[in-house]
C-alpha cells in the first residue's frame, strides 16, 4: 500500500504568520457566532496563580477554536452556495435552449397553417378513394392537431421554467455575494482575535504554556510504531497512515495542509489521500458516516469533542488518536479520552 511520507523541519515555537492560506477566509461566511458581541475573556495577567493563567489561556484557545471551526463551516457553506448558483445558471441555459427549440416548432406549425400546406378535412374527403381512407386521414389530422397543441403547451411550460430558473439563479448569486461580503467584514476581527491569543500565549512561561496545551489539547502520548496501527479497510489505513505522517506539523487556524493544519483540516487532508472528500469542518464531519460507540472504535474512525462540536481527530487504536490539537502544539498522538469527548463516526 502506497503511503506518502515526508520529512519536515519546524522551529521550536511554531508561531507562524497567517499567510495566503488564511487569506482564504475572505471568501467564507459567518454563521451563528458573533464574537464582537461576546463578553471579553479575562486576560492571563488577571489570574491569581500561574495555573489560573494557563487555564485562562486554554479556555481562550478553545473559544478561538470554536470560532475557527465556525468559519470553516461557513466556508463550506459558501462553496455549496456557489455550486447551487452554478447549477441554477446551468438550468437557465437548459430551459432557454428548450424554449428556443419548441418556439421554432410552433413557428413551423404556424407557417404551415398560413401557407395552406396542411391537409384539411375537406381536402381529405375530396382526395380519399374510400370511406376507410377518409376516416384514416381524419384520424391523422386529429393526431397532428393534438401534437400541435401539446407543442404549444410545452412552449408555455418551458417559458415559465426558464423564468423561474432565472429568478433562482439571481437569488442564489445574491445570497452567495451576501455571505462573501459578511465574511470579508469579519475577517479583520478573526485576525485580531488570533493576534491577541498569540500574545497571551507568549506571555506565559514555558511551564504555563505546557499546562495550557494539555488543558486544551490533551497530553501528548508516544506514537505507536506505524506497522502496529492496522485498519480494517484500505481507505481507513491510508487515512491513518497519512495523518501519522504529519506528526510534528504545526497547528495553524483554518489550515488544511500540506505543511500546517487545524483539527478538521488534518482529517480532511488524511481522508482525501484515500479518495474520500470530507468538508473542512469538524461539525460537518461529525455528521458523516455511521455512529460508533466508544467500545467499538477502530483505527480510522473519526472522534469528535465538545458541544457544539469544535474538535476532531482520527482514532489509531489503543485508546489513542492522532490530531492537530491546539496552537503551540504540533500534530501529535493523544488520548481519545481527553476532556470533551462526545462521540465517533465511521467513514469507511
The verdict on whether 62 is a catalytic residue reads no
Marked catalytic residue, from 62, 216, 263, 280: 263
Note whether 322 and 267 are within 8 A (CB).
no
- CA distances (Å), 152 to each of 99, 111, 180, 236, in order? 11, 14, 42, 56
- CA distances (Å), 184 to each of 28, 159, 187, 194, in order? 8, 38, 5, 16
Marked catalytic residue, from 62, 216, 280, 323: 323
The verdict on whether 311 is a catalytic residue reads yes
Note whether 308 and 65 are within 8 A (CB).
no
317 Ramachandran zone, left/alpha/beta (phi>0; psi -120 to 50): left
d(CA 244, CA 195): 29
Collect all residues with Cβ–Cβ distance below 8 Å to 85 and sequence separation of at least 6: 169, 172, 173, 176
19, with CB counted inside 10 A (0-12, 13-18, 19+), is exposed
Marked catalytic residue, from 62, 216, 280, 311: 311
Q: State the CB neighbour count (10 A cutoff) for residue 225.
A: 7
The verdict on whether 280 is a catalytic residue reads no
Based on C-alpha coordinates, what's the Rg of the chain? 31
Q: Any alpha helices (H) in 204-317, and if so which ranges?
A: 206-217, 234-244, 263-273, 282-285
Q: Is the peptide bond before 258 cis (omega within 30 degrees of 0)?
A: yes
Note whether 151 and 102 are within 8 A (CB).
yes
Comparing C-alpha atoms, which of 316, 311, 283 is closest to residue 301?
316
Q: At what angle do helices 263-273 and 234-244 cross, to 10 degrees?
A: 130
Q: Which residues are catalytic?
A: 263, 311, 323
Amino acid at each position: 500500500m502506497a503511503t506518502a511520507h515526508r520529512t519536515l523541519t519546524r522551529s521550536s515555537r511554531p508561531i507562524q504568520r497567517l499567510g495566503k492560506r488564511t487569506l482564504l477566509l475572505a471568501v467564507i461566511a459567518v454563521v451563528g457566532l458573533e464574537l464582537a458581541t461576546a463578553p471579553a475573556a479575562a486576560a492571563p495577567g488577571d489570574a491569581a496563580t500561574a495555573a489560573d493563567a494557563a487555564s485562562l489561556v486554554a479556555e481562550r484557545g478553545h473559544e478561538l477554536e470554536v470560532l475557527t471551526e465556525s468559519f470553516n463551516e461557513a466556508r463550506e457553506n459558501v462553496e455549496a452556495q456557489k455550486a447551487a448558483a452554478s447549477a441554477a445558471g446551468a438550468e437557465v441555459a437548459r430551459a432557454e435552449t428548450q424554449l428556443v427549440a419548441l418556439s421554432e416548432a410552433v413557428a413551423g406549425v404556424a407557417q404551415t397553417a398560413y401557407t395552406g400546406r396542411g391537409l384539411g378535412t375537406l381536402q381529405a374527403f375530396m382526395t380519399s378513394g374510400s370511406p376507410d381512407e377518409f376516416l384514416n386521414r381524419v384520424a391523422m389530422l386529429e393526431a397532428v392537431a393534438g401534437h400541435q397543441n401539446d407543442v404549444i403547451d410545452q412552449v408555455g411550460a418551458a417559458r415559465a421554467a426558464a423564468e423561474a430558473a432565472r429568478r433562482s439563479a439571481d437569488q442564489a448569486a445574491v445570497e452567495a455575494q451576501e455571505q462573501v461580503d459578511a465574511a470579508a467584514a469579519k475577517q479583520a476581527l478573526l485576525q485580531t482575535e488570533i493576534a491577541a491569543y498569540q500574545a497571551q500565549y507568549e506571555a506565559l512561561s514555558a511551564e504555563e504554556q505546557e499546562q495550557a496545551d494539555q488543558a486544551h489539547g490533551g497530553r501528548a502520548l508516544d506514537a505507536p510504531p506505524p506497522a502496529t496501527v492496522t485498519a480494517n479497510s484500505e481507505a481507513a489505513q491510508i487515512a491513518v497512515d497519512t495523518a501519522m505522517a504529519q506528526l510534528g506539523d504545526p497547528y495553524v487556524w483554518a489550515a488544511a495542509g500540506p505543511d500546517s493544519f487545524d483539527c478538521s483540516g488534518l482529517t480532511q487532508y488524511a481522508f482525501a489521500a484515500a479518495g474520500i472528500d470530507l468538508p473542512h469542518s469538524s461539525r460537518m464531519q461529525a455528521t458523516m458516516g455511521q455512529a460508533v460507540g466508544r467500545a467499538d472504535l477502530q483505527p480510522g474512525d473519526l472522534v469528535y469533542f465538545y458541544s457544539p462540536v469544535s474538535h476532531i481527530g482520527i482514532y489509531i487504536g489503543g485508546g489513542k488518536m492522532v490530531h492537530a490539537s491546539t496552537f503551540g502544539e504540533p500534530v501529535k498522538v493523544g488520548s481519545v479520552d481527553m476532556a470533551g469527548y462526545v462521540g465517533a463516526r465511521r467513514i469507511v
